Amino acid sequence: PLSQGEGSGPGIDRRWLAASSTPQLTVSTSRADVHLTGHSAARQFWMATSIMASGDVGGEAGKGMAPEEARALYDDWGDGYTTSVESWGYTMPHEIAAALASLADDAPSFSGKILDAGAGDGLSGRELRAAGFKNADITGADLSPKLLEIAASRSVYDQLKQLDLSQRLPFESESFDMVSCVGTLTYLAPSSGVLAEFVRVTKPGGHICYNIRTDHKLAWLETEKAMVANGSWQLLTETEPRPYLPNNPDYADKVLTVISCYRKTV
């Protein structure tokens, strides 16, 4: 269940952070290497999980991954993404959609705007609709053209936009009532300003929900707490660490994740 925040920033148990070491695998993420070794779907899935479970995902925790590497990875993985993550027991799209629905007065009657930041191939958009946001205006945004192409085929978004979340978002301030960000912050650095951008594009009183893996959470805590302290947002709920990819042996009980939901300060 979601635990209640007290407005003083995330208070996650650091014992989880220390215990949650990432498996040490080393795989090149260049587009050339993916093509050279990706002769079958199974091989591509193995490459993807090995890259994701590598010691640093493009750098140590908090450094993120170069945008061109992330785009190449997901463009190559695109057709098999849903099959692989669902086989690994990935439930974050469902859980974050449910968290946002719990914060809406009445999800089926909600007609506001939602930004699905890091929409991928549309799993999170699908789950937002399934959670009750039938009448919401949902914008899906992602770095990967291939994943956006697949997302478009799901017919769950009102708009789709290719963008880099490490840059200023191409939306007016106070454009959205809610922001959802599922499984994406691992690939970004806190110094990118992405959380501040989420706040900027959210309307006062609006909600922002996202997850961060426990092996990366500590790198984001300072930014999260600073934004509480400066009045940007208020922590509403934060889960205990929970499975991220429970059926993937490189993750299982080694790497967990935490879901956090904030309200933009009025």
Asked whether residue 251 carries a pLDDT value surpassing 70, the answer given is: yes
Q: What is the pTM of this model?
A: 0.78
233-247 pLDDT, tens digit per residue, is 999 999 999 999 999
Report pLDDT for 78.
56
Residue 261 to residue 14: CA distance in whole angstroms? 19
Question: Taking Cα atoms as reference points, which of 162, 216, 226 lies closest to residue 195?
Answer: 226
Per the CB < 8 A criterion, the answer to whether 143 and 162 are in contact is yes
Report pLDDT for 8.
39
Question: Taking Cα atoms as reference points, which of 219, 265, 211 lies closest to residue 241?
Answer: 211
Residue 82 to residue 185: CA distance in whole angstroms? 19
Q: 24: buried, middle or exposed (CB in 10 Å: 19+, 13-18, 0-12)?
A: exposed
Report pLDDT for 60.
53
Share above pLDDT 70 across residues of the chain, in percent, rounded to a whole number: 71
Asked whether residue 255 carries a pLDDT value surpassing 50, the answer given is: yes
Asked whether residue 108 carries a pLDDT value surpassing 70, the answer given is: yes
Mean pLDDT of the chain: 80
Place of tokens 């591509």: 44
Report pLDDT for 32.
29
145-202 pLDDT, tens digit per residue, is 889 999 999 999 999 999 999 999 999 999 999 999 999 999 899 999 999 999 999 9
